[in-house]
């Protein structure tokens, strides 16, 4: 084997890396390369390029002491004029990172942090920063932090523990979670302990290379799933597969409603049922890890992947993630919470730094992931972007300190596909590289042989690799996937290959819950003079391309990357194959045939022939106009929309189409299938537009779900999971565009806590339709409010609760943010809901907390909700609970959850602006 001297070996490795990365669309900066291509080694250690398990080593091990400081600086920064950060030798590594960040990023999350000393967080330092000139053009990030070459020890995270409490905190397993909406807090600690014990025993006899292998994917298209961990000894490996709404790239599976549609139901039972049905399909296909749910917030209304998630509020998104994960894992598949964290737009997603202050990070963006940890989630996927100047997949602050430390996460962190930037990402908290190669089909990897070499030369402690392998196998054991788990029965890359596709049908009767969610997630925004439900009309016209089938069929566009026919899901990796798609046209015709009056149905599916559309609407009892707005992942562009939406208008001439039809028919009903909010000001007040249904993305039963609402079989109960504004600028946040080459966009979250309805409330902006809004075919009244503190007899938390009541922040300890005493019910709010209308219906009661003004919170924050079905004329009792966590704010200076001084009030009502009952918290 050719052996090169150390310096030449390093240059060869850098050259190989440059060749392998030139081909990718978003180039890695040279500072990324430097921090990962070079490793610390003894003077006698050198290596040449080699391959292992068909993955070529691109990094050579070099003694840092043999490279002059000037050369090292030239390699590790993009500009010779780049500022460097001096770190006092007396400072601990994590303190150094915190100091560096807080001194250069005024909004950085580390500006008021103290490291968790018992974790691996103490292993990171800041690297030299890259500078980009920004006299004109988009805002560009001037600092990029990488992990420098050093020797990193590792000690395992202490495992948070608490004694089970019957009736409050029962010990259980993912196979037996509490029912939806239960006040019980499941204690998965014992199940995790058993899983880790078995995993530790399993890997005890493995070689270093074997342990590294379970952390390294086999490479893009190297197996039958989108991600694959190879078999090691008697461990069979793992199949990882998209998506958050169904099993991607295979047949005989269901196409479920999107996350945003399911969130619009505000029904925990349906969130759980969807998760369980999806989990069963993933397991039935032999998938070990389902890559979902997605829980990024809709910070940007135009965000391309917002529809995959659960809306713009952290509490709603957190509860939706929690129920979804409980359902998925109850079915036996490992869930994966993604995309961690601050991945809020598609444009330049691999080269943008989301700069977020510590309080905002905790109270908004981290919360859904905390709830995922509390649901026992097996894995978390780190995102493409940088967070406060450091890539999310090697970010010590977010991975080690927050996720594994504060939140007590006991599973493993995988990278998003090609979001892995260095071998030293293992020190930053990354446990698994996906899909394994640096760029698709490059034959190179940051882990694999490079990780092995970094351990052998003393850069990374082998105990850290033990921890990685143990975490990965613990997830496998937690879900009992060692016991008769189905084999993979499909080929994601060759769906029609008879040798690797068994065409196993896993759909069962899941169409039922899909149809139910589609109806329950439909939001009635307008209904003048009870235009809906339809009352056996004699003539119906369906107008608009969205009413009918696409010209290519439901799967005619790869990854659904086209807007043609009715819209039932967005585009990108968050999709699945439709087994069929019931269009509104098909479903309305079937329903009309059932009417004794014998309704006549006609249609006109051209959005651009306005005269023809108007003619089709003339003299019809009702004209149903179907419109949509689409978006998706940035690797597909549709009509100039590069993932993110270019604007907030409805697509395909929709506004003009609605106006033309409304001009010809005085009973025009608009149905919108949309990925998110849209501006409707051009026609919403037109008196001939008598009703509007916001149907989101309903999945395969789209038309049937809609007919259930149109004809009154289901009284609409959907509520908006975001705000619909009157003007795009009313949201207060917008896409950051621009950027070329290896520039890094700077996205400053200057709005802080005021996202979506919080921003509207804080700035007295009147929306068109507020967050939580939705009409019904009936009416409800609220009464009989009662509030009480919930007594508890657990002496172990009495001192903590008393300190919290006095305004002392919660302790900054491992698992502190997930502590039982913080999350157990502390206040009970009960009231009555009466159906005062003519038909049975479901009400969604929402509770918003109002913190004292000096607490610095938005005027109202959602903290509880519940659905209740009430017959006409009847009353029902509802009880909502608040925890101390719900009543806390994050104290960035003292790193804990604190009760703000002053009176905490709350309101109960039907939306974020329609409050029916008001009270104060007795704590």
Q: 3-state secondary structure string, 528-597?
A: HHHCCCCCCCCEEEEECHHHCCCCCCCCCCHHHCCCCCCCCCCECCCCCCCCCCCCHHHHHHHHHHHCCC
| Spacing of C-alpha 539 from chain mean position | 43
d(CA 631, CA 678): 12
d(CA 805, CA 682): 50
d(CA 243, CA 254): 11
> Quick check: 337 and 381 in contact, CB under 8 A?
yes
Task: Choose, from 32, 251, 396, 416, the residue flagged as catalytic.
Answer: 416
d(CA 848, CA 336): 29
d(CA 215, CA 423): 12
| Spacing of C-alpha 849 from chain mean position | 24
In the DSSP assignment, the letter for residue 688 is: T
Q: What's the angle, vertex CA 509, arms to CA 504 and CA 514, rounded to 5?
A: 110
Is residue 437 among the annotated active site residues?
Answer: no
- Cα dist from 142 to 77, 81, 125, 127, 505, whole Å: 12, 12, 18, 13, 52
Place of tokens 């009880």: 879
In the DSSP assignment, the letter for residue 157 is: P
- Cα dist from 582 to 243, 256, 623, 654, 744, whole Å: 21, 13, 20, 22, 44
d(CA 464, CA 155): 7
Place of tokens 């604190």: 898
Residue partners of 649: CB distance under 8 A and separation at least 6: 629, 655, 678, 679
| Closest residue by Cα to residue 432 from 410, 415, 418 | 415
Place of tokens 């029916």: 916
d(CA 3, CA 12): 12
In the DSSP assignment, the letter for residue 247 is: -
d(CA 747, CA 386): 10
Strand, coil or helix: 833: strand
Q: Is 496 exposed, middle or buried (0-12, 13-18, 19+ CB in 10 A)?
A: exposed
| Spacing of C-alpha 829 from chain mean position | 30
Task: Give the active site residues.
Answer: 416
């Amino acid at each position: 084997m050719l052996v090169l001297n150390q310096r030449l070996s390093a240059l060869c490795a850098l050259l190989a890396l440059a060749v392998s990365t030139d081909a990718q669309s978003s180039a890695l900066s040279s500072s990324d390369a430097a921090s990962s291509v070079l490793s610390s080694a003894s003077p006698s250690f050198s290596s040449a390029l080699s391959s292992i398990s068909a993955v070529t080593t691109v990094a050579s091990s070099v003694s840092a002491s043999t490279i002059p400081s000037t050369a090292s600086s030239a390699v590790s920064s993009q500009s010779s004029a780049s500022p460097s950060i001096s770190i006092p030798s007396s400072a601990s590594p994590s303190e150094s990172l915190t100091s560096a960040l807080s001194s250069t990023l005024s909004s950085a999350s580390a500006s008021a942090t103290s490291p968790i000393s018992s974790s691996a967080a103490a292993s990171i330092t800041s690297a030299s920063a890259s500078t980009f000139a920004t006299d004109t053009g988009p805002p560009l990030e001037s600092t990029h932090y990488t992990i420098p070459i050093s020797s990193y020890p590792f000690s395992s995270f202490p495992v948070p523990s608490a004694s089970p409490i019957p009736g409050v905190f029962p010990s259980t397993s993912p196979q037996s979670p509490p029912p939806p909406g239960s006040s019980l807090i499941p204690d998965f600690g014992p199940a995790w302990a058993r899983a880790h014990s078995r995993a530790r025993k399993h890997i005890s006899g493995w070689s270093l290379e074997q342990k590294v292998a379970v952390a390294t994917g086999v490479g893009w298209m190297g197996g039958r799933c989108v991600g694959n961990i190879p078999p090691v000894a008697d461990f069979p490996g793992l199949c990882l597969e998209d998506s958050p709404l169904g099993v991607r790239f295979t047949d005989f599976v269901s196409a479920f409603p999107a996350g945003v549609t399911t969130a619009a139901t505000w029904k925990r039972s349906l969130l759980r049922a969807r998760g369980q049905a999806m989990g069963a399909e993933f397991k039935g296909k032999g998938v070990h890890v389902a890559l979902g749910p997605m829980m990024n917030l809709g910070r940007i209304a135009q965000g391309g992947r917002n529809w995959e998630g659960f809306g713009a509020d952290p509490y709603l998104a957190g509860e939706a993630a929690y129920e979804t994960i409980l359902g998925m894992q109850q079915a036996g598949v490992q869930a994966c919470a993604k995309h961690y964290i601050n991945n809020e737009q598609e444009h330049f997603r691999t080269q943008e730094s989301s700069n977020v202050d510590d309080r905002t990070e905790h109270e908004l963006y981290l919360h859904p992931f905390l709830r995922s940890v509390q649901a026992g989630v097996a894995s978390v996927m780190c995102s493409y972007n940088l967070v406060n100047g450091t890539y999310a997949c090697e970010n010590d602050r977010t991975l080690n300190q927050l996720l594994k430390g504060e939140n007590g996460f006991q599973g493993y962190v995988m990278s998003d596909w090609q979001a892995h930037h260095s071998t030293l990402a293992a020190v930053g908290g990354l446990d698994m590289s996906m899909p394994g190669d640096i760029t698709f089909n490059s034959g190179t990897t940051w882990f694999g042989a490079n990780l092995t070499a970094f351990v052998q030369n003393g850069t990374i402690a082998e105990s850290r690799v033990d921890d990685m392998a143990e975490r990965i196998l613990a997830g496998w054991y937690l879900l009992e996937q060692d016991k008769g788990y189905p084999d993979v029965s499909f080929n994601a890359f060759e769906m029609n290959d008879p040798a690797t596709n068994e065409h196993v049908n896993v759909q069962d009767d899941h169409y039922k819950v899909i149809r139910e969610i589609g109806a329950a997630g439909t939001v009635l925004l307008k209904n003048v003079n009870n235009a809906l439900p339809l009352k056996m009309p004699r003539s119906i016209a369906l107008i608009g391309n969205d009413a009918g089938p696409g010209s290519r069929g439901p799967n005619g566009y790869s990854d659904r990357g086209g807007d043609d026919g009715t819209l039932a899901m967005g585009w990108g990796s968050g999709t699945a194959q439709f087994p069929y798609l019931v269009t509104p046209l098909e479903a309305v015709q079937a329903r009309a045939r059932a009417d004794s009056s014998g309704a006549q149905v006609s249609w006109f599916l051209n959005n651009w022939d306005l005269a023809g559309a108007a003619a089709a609407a003339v003299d019809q009892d009702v004209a149903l106009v179907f419109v949509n707005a689409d978006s998706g992942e940035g690797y597909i562009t549709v009509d100039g929309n590069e993932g993110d939406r270019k604007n907030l208008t409805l697509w395909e001439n929709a506004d003009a189409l609605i106006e033309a039809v409304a001009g010809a028919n005085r009973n025009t009903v608009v149905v919108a299938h949309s990925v998110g909010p849209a501006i409707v000001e051009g026609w919403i007040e037109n008196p001939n537009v008598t009703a509007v249904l916001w149907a989101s993305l309903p999945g395969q039963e789209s038309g049937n779900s809609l007919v259930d609402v149109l004809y009154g079989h289901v009284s609409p109960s959907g509520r908006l999971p975001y705000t619909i504004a009157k003007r795009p600028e009313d949201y207060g946040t917008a896409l950051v565009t621009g950027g070329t080459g290896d520039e890094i966009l700077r996205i400053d979250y200057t709005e802080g806590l005021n996202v979506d309805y919080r921003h509207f409330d804080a700035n007295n902006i009147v929306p068109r339709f507020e967050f939580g809004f939705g009409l019904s075919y009936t009416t409800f009244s609220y009464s009989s409010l009662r509030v009480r503190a919930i007594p508890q007899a657990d002496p172990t938390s009495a001192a903590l609760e008393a300190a919290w009541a006095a305004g002392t922040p919660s302790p900054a300890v491992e698992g502190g943010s997930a502590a039982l005493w913080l999350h157990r019910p502390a206040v009970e709010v009960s009231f009555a809901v009466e159906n005062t209308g003519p038909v049975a219906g479901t009400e969604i009661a929402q509770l918003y907390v109002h913190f004292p003004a000096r607490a610095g919170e938005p005027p109202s924050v959602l903290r509880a909700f519940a659905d209740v079905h009430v017959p006409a004329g009847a009353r029902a009792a509802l009880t909502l609970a608040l925890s101390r966590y719900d009543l806390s704010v994050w104290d960035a200076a003292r790193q804990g959850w604190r009760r703000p001084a002053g009176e905490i009030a709350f309101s109960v009502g039907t939306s974020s602006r329609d409050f029916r009952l008001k009270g104060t918290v007795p704590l």
